[in-house]
Amino acid sequence: MEDKLTQAVEDYLKAIYELSQTEGRASTSKLAEYLEVTPASVTGMIKKLASANPPLVDYQKHRGVVLTEAGMNEALETLRHHRLLELFLHDILGYPWDEVHEEAERLEHVISEKFEERIAAVLGNPKHDPHGDPIPRLDLSMPASAETRLSDLGKGDSGTIKRVRDTDADLLRHLSDLGVTPETQVKVVDYSDYDKNTHLKIKNQDEVVVLGQNITEQIYVEA
Amino acid sequence: MEDKLTQAVEDYLKAIYELSQTEGRASTSKLAEYLEVTPASVTGMIKKLASANPPLVDYQKHRGVVLTEAGMNEALETLRHHRLLELFLHDILGYPWDEVHEEAERLEHVISEKFEERIAAVLGNPKHDPHGDPIPRLDLSMPASAETRLSDLGKGDSGTIKRVRDTDADLLRHLSDLGVTPETQVKVVDYSDYDKNTHLKIKNQDEVVVLGQNITEQIYVEA
DNA sequence: ATATAAATTTAGATTAGCCTAAAGTTATTT
DNA sequence: AAATAACTTTAGGCTAATCTAAATTTATAT
Ligand SMILES: [Mn+2]
Ligand SMILES: [Mn+2]
Ligand SMILES: [Mn+2]
Ligand SMILES: [Mn+2]
């Protein structure tokens, strides 16, 4: 009942956590798509999670799952590993920010609590990963994270980039080329209602950058 | 035919490499003991290694295995990961030298070539791990390593500790407590033929340390 | 040359996580 | 309310790595 969780279980719990951020319960098909497995495989795994001791998810046939308290803690533990690793790979080993995710995805399941503790110490108990996502604290509580999208700013508004959706490596490369990275100060010098383009002045840069809505929706700022 | 090797396969190849250092071919029972699995499991795995494409071992029923060229390369690749990781955990993350092995044993199978390259760079392309064992080079050739045992020195001889067998965590803790670690200069101030004890003066230390033969046989020095 | 001991292999099972194909359930239209 | 579409579950199989128990082979000792 209290064996170490497998890699697959940890990835399912993390996926359920991520999907629950948007929708309420995580459905079989959404999970299947997210994890790139068949819906049948998801059903099988979900049953195991639900009948674990203690149960890791609350499962209702045909209407998906939510994490239990125990499941949530395991998900956050793995997420803490993941995000600490991403920052470690970036800051200490010099990985570009579009390459950290893949490596962290494997390492998160394998490092010990000691490794977690050591990299947290070396990094100075950081609050955010290289994409600005909050790192769960040691007690698994979550630091606040910016929720205002750049697409919601209007002409004349200014703020600091705080977070960028980390799912698309191409986008991440593109943004670091442009200089749009967390903690960068920016000002909206123009916004067009026709094409939804945001014209952005970036601190210490001359050229004004123009970003489409599909991009500005993935960037979060703080006034 | 050229799929990524599993963790189990990598550990078998590394074990065959280690055992071949001493005996010629690695026998089923020696492998079973080393890997803490049953002989039957070893037979099963050996057959797979032998019929892989390309074959990773040369197998002759009832007389064990030797690594093929391909198997040797895979073994050394994993060993390079392992020893770089040990040094990294010790030097960068501050692990004590008796705790690096266990963590490296899991991580060695999971890190990418990029991770290998980055820690090698951060460490300055090191030649030896924290126990003084040689780290295979990028081209998988092996740096020389000290082969004179401390037990072979006589009264009046002096030298530098170069390498310590890393299999016993208790011994490692004991030795670092005494100050017997690689690159330390020592002098044999006395040796007793009766109890095979070596009396050792350690540079920059006042107390003379007395070590039994079961310990001095596990320590390698250079004149 | 036989018997016994030691080492090795074979055979049959188990567990985790995945798959495909078929069957069943829920939601949406007409 | 029936038909259709979308989603979910069931059933049966597969692979990798392990195990136990039985059979076989090799080595050693009378
Ligand atoms: Mn993962
Ligand atoms: Mn991230
Ligand atoms: Mn290993
Ligand atoms: Mn070592």
Place of tokens 């692990």: B95
For B163-170, what is the mean pLDDT?
93
Chain A neighbors of B106, CB-CB under 8 A: 110
- Dist. CA A99 → ligand 1 center (Å): 14
For A32-37, what is the mean pLDDT?
94
Residue A217 has pLDDT above 80, yes or no: yes
- If you count DSSP H runs as helices and E runs as strands, how many of each does chain B have, helices first? 8, 8
A122 shares contact with chain B (CB less than 8 Å) = yes
DSSP string, A102-123: HHHHHHTTT--HHHHHHHHHHT
- Dist. CA B35 → ligand 3 center (Å): 10
Which residue is nearest to the C1' sugar atom of D18, using CA? B41
Q: Which among A163, A192, A191 is positioned nearest to A175, based on CA atoms?
A: A163
B122 shares contact with chain A (CB less than 8 Å) = yes
User: Pick from A94, A106, A112: which is nearest to B110 by CB?
Assistant: A106
- Dist. CA B30 → ligand 4 center (Å): 20
Within chain A, all domains assigned CATH 2.30.30.90 are found at: 148-222
Q: What is the pLDDT of residue B50?
A: 93
Q: What is the pLDDT of residue A223?
A: 87
Within chain A, all domains assigned CATH 1.10.10.10 are found at: 7-67
Chain A residues 194-213, Cβ below 7 A from strand C: none
Which band of pLDDT confidence, cut at 50, 70 and 90, is reported for residue B92? very high
A105 shares contact with chain B (CB less than 8 Å) = no
Contact A118 B103 (CB under 8 A): no
User: Pick from B92, B107, B118: which is nearest to A110 by CB?
Assistant: B107
Place of tokens 């697959």: A8
Which band of pLDDT confidence, cut at 50, 70 and 90, is reported for residue A1? low
B209 shares contact with chain A (CB less than 8 Å) = no
Opening angle at CA A184, ends A182 and A190, nearest 5: 115
Output the CA–CA distances (angstroms, integers) from residue A36 to A11, A32, A49, A51, B60, in the order listed: 11, 6, 18, 23, 42
Contact B114 A99 (CB under 8 A): yes
Contact B95 A118 (CB under 8 A): yes
Tokens of B99: 């705790």
Tens-digit pLDDT profile for residues B193-216: 999 999 999 999 999 999 999 999
Q: Distance (Å, rounded) from C-alpha B57 to C-alpha B26?
A: 10
What class does CATH assign to A7-67?
Answer: mainly alpha
Among the bound ligands, name the one nearest to the CA of residue B85.
4
For B140-158, what is the mean pLDDT?
94
Q: What is the pLDDT of residue A24?
A: 84
For A54-78, what is the mean pLDDT?
95
User: Pick from B94, B110, B122: which is nearest to A93 by CB?
Assistant: B122
Q: What is the pLDDT of residue A167?
A: 86
B21 shares contact with chain A (CB less than 8 Å) = no
- Nucleotide with the nearest C1' to B39 CA: C8
Q: What is the pLDDT of residue B2?
A: 56
Tens-digit pLDDT profile for residues B16-45: 999 999 878 999 999 999 999 999 999 999
Which pTM was predicted?
A: 0.92
Q: What is the pLDDT of residue A4?
A: 86
Chain B neighbors of A94, CB-CB under 8 A: 118
Range name among A128-137, B49-58, B83-92, B113-122 with the lowest pLDDT average: B49-58
Query: For A148-222, CATH number?
Result: 2.30.30.90
Contact A115 B94 (CB under 8 A): no
For A88-103, what is the mean pLDDT?
97
Q: What percent of chain B has pLDDT over 70?
A: 99
A35 shares contact with chain B (CB less than 8 Å) = no
Place of tokens 């998988």: B140
Tens-digit pLDDT profile for residues A159-216: 999 999 998 999 999 999 999 999 999 999 999 999 999 999 999 999 999 999 999 9
Tens-digit pLDDT profile for residues A13-28: 999 999 999 888 999 9
- Dist. CA B83 → ligand 2 center (Å): 29
Q: Distance (Å, rounded) from C-alpha A157 to C-alpha A69?
A: 40
